[in-house]
């Protein structure tokens, strides 16, 4: 098992390696494996636990993890979440906060990557849950073995190990863990998925089997994504943050490649976490064929004779502000002279009127309205994309997970 984990992490795993330990069997099992590897020449470790403050036992569990780490001479940190606003989807908010806090902790502590303990069972349960949502190739593909978030790499080194294997290891080593009471509550979809998985055993379907299927699908997906990247290099280019697509070449692409290419462009421009729903995107694609401009997912689709221009929708960024030097709308950074009270916000219709040289910009008015500008109160200071610089410069910043620009330049 240890070789499996070391192999999954790869020889280039940074040091110290972070490990996210909730106190459950999966993550305590991962910690145990990594600790044994550490004692045998593996990377130094830093453990982290997030106390969401949602269950009375949580603080006690965090302390127990801290004690375990202390006994093994692994530095441990507990991060306390107090951000629950009381509205919305609690598990989702807790998960987002957890990853955000762990990434911020890692950055501060000089930890380049954090291992989390998603197991083969998590993978299989997720697969079943996605089946219930009629997911396609993307949803059913295996969980990524690594991803980037908040400047940190998250790693899943035990995707090939089952929960039972980790529990057997812990029993053999005499290491205890906490059972989350919700893990037995059939009100949770994941618990029902676990029960269904057991029922599938007589058919020869086990966690590993579904993991194999999910990996096969991930292989197919990787191939399709490579085709999308090739197509993007051929049909698309970037102009000051807009994506320009050759319409006749687009119409010759396989519809699935075209759909994915548009989806990638939308994710890059909008910064949305999830792509638009399939039917909505298909409707826009039919509109593009017919020559109709449209808006979708915070983006505008402008049809010209030969080109489709996808730009940011002005309405989606109205009211969005950042300080100079900070990233605005997830991908723009404006820098210039120090200036009291200066903020970055969209140029908008009002600002556009105050850009005398806007005609010299290659961008149409729709793109310029949604472009970043510097304001001091109601006064427009700079709009670099609309040819009003006043000593300011603009930079397109790389997006962590949806970098269309990188897709084209590779
Ligand atoms: N409170 C916590 N503190 C530290 N690490 C945690 C905590 N909760 C979860 N983790 C880490 O994340 C891993 C996966 O946790 P969990 O199964 O709850 O899934 P998730 O991250 O919420 O995502 P998903 O629900 O999509 O599977 C755990 O094995 C552990 O490594």
Percent of the chain with pLDDT over 70: 100
Q: Please indicate if the annotation marks 22 as binding a ligand.
A: yes
Order of strands, edge to edge, in the sheet holding 242-246? 236-239, 242-246, 307-312, 299-303, 294-296
ipTM of the shown complex: 0.95
CA of 45 to the centre of ligand 1 (A): 18
List pLDDT tens digits, range 240-267: 999 999 999 999 999 999 999 999 999 9
Work out the burial of residue 213: count CB atoms within 10 Å of its CB; fewer than 13 is exposed, 13-18 middle, 19 or more buried: middle
Mean of pLDDT values over 30-45: 96
Task: Please name each of the domains of the chain with its CATH number.
Answer: 2-208 (3.40.50.620), 214-314+402-409 (1.20.59.20), 316-396 (no CATH)
Contact of 244 with 236, CB cutoff 8 Å? yes
Residue 86 has pLDDT above 90, yes or no: no
Residue pLDDT, tens place only, 351-368: 999 999 999 999 999 999
| Rounded Cα distance, 318 and 295, in Å | 15
- Class of residue 312 by CB neighbours under 10 A (exposed 0-12, middle 13-18, buried 19+): buried
Find the 22 Cα to ligand 1 centroid distance in Å. 7
- The yes-or-no verdict on residue 341 having pLDDT over 90 is yes
Strands (E), 52-187: 76-80, 113-115, 146-149, 152-155
Protein residue whose Cα sits closest to atom 8 of ligand 1: 22
410 has a pLDDT exceeding 80? no
> Residue 334 in 3-state DSSP?
strand
Determine the average pLDDT of the residues in 331-352.
96
Three-class SS of residue 45? strand
The predicted pLDDT at position 146 comes to 94
Ligand 1 atom closest to the Cα of residue 79 is 3
Distance set, CA 55 to CA 9, 63, 181, 331 (Å): 32, 14, 10, 38
Helix, strand, coil % over all residues of the chain, rounded to 5: 45, 20, 35
CA atoms within 13 A on the CB side of 194: 17
Atom 6 (ligand 1) nearest CA: 22
- Torsion 204-207-213-219 (CA) sign: negative
0.95 exceeded by pTM: no
What percentage of the chain has pLDDT greater than the value 90? 86
Question: Does 278 show up as a binding residue in the annotation?
Answer: no
Residue 158 has pLDDT above 90, yes or no: yes
Residues 91-147: pLDDT tens digits? Answer: 889 999 999 999 999 999 999 999 999 999 999 999 999 999 999 999 999 999 999
């Amino acid at each position: 098992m240890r070789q499996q984990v070391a192999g999954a992490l790869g020889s280039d795993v940074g040091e110290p390696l972070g490990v996210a330990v909730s106190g459950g069997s999966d993550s305590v099992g991962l910690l145990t494996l990594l600790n044994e590897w550490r004692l045998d020449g593996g990377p130094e470790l830093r453990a982290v636990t997030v106390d969401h403050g949602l269950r009375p036992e949580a603080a006690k569990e965090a302390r127990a993890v801290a004690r375990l780490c202390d006994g093994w001479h692994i530095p441990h940190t507990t991060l306390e979440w107090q951000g629950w606003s009381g509205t919305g989807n609690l598990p989702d908010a807790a998960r987002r906060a957890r990853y955000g806090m762990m990434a911020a902790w890692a950055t501060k502590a000089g930890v380049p990557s954090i291992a989390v303990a998603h197991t083969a069972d998590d993978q299989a349960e997720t697969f079943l849950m996605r089946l219930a949502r009629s997911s396609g190739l993307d949803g059913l593909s295996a969980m990524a073995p690594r991803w980037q978030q908040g400047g940190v790499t998250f790693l899943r080194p035990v995707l090939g190990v089952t929960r039972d294997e980790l529990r057997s290891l812990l029993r053999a080593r005499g290491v205890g863990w906490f059972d989350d009471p919700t893990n037995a509550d059939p009100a949770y979809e994941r618990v029902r998925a676990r029960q269904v998985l057991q029922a599938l055993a007589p058919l020869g379907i086990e966690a590993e089997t579904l993991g194999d299927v999910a990996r096969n699908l991930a292989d197919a997906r990787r191939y399709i994504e490579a085709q999308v990247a090739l197509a993007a290099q051929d049909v698309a280019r970037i102009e000051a943050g807009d994506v320009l697509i050759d319409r006749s070449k687009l119409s010759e692409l396989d519809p699935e490649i075209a759909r994915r290419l548009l989806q990638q462009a939308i994710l890059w421009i909008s910064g949305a976490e999830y792509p638009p729903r399939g039917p909505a995107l298909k409707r826009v694609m039919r509109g593009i064929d017919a020559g109709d401009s449209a808006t979708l997912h915070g983006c505008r689709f402008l049809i010209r004779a030969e080109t489709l221009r996808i730009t940011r929708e002005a309405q989606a960024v109205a009211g969005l502000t950042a300080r100079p030097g900070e990233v605005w709308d997830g991908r723009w950074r404006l820098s210039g002279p120090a200036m009291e009270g200066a903020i970055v916000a969209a140029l908008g219709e009002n600002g556009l009127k105050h850009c005398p040289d806007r005609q010299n910009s290659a961008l149409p008015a729709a793109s310029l309205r949604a472009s970043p500008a510097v304001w001091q109160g109601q006064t427009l200071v700079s709009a670099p994309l609309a040819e009003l610089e006043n000593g300011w410069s603009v930079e397109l910043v790389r997006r962590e997970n949806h970098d269309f620009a990188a897709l084209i330049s590779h």
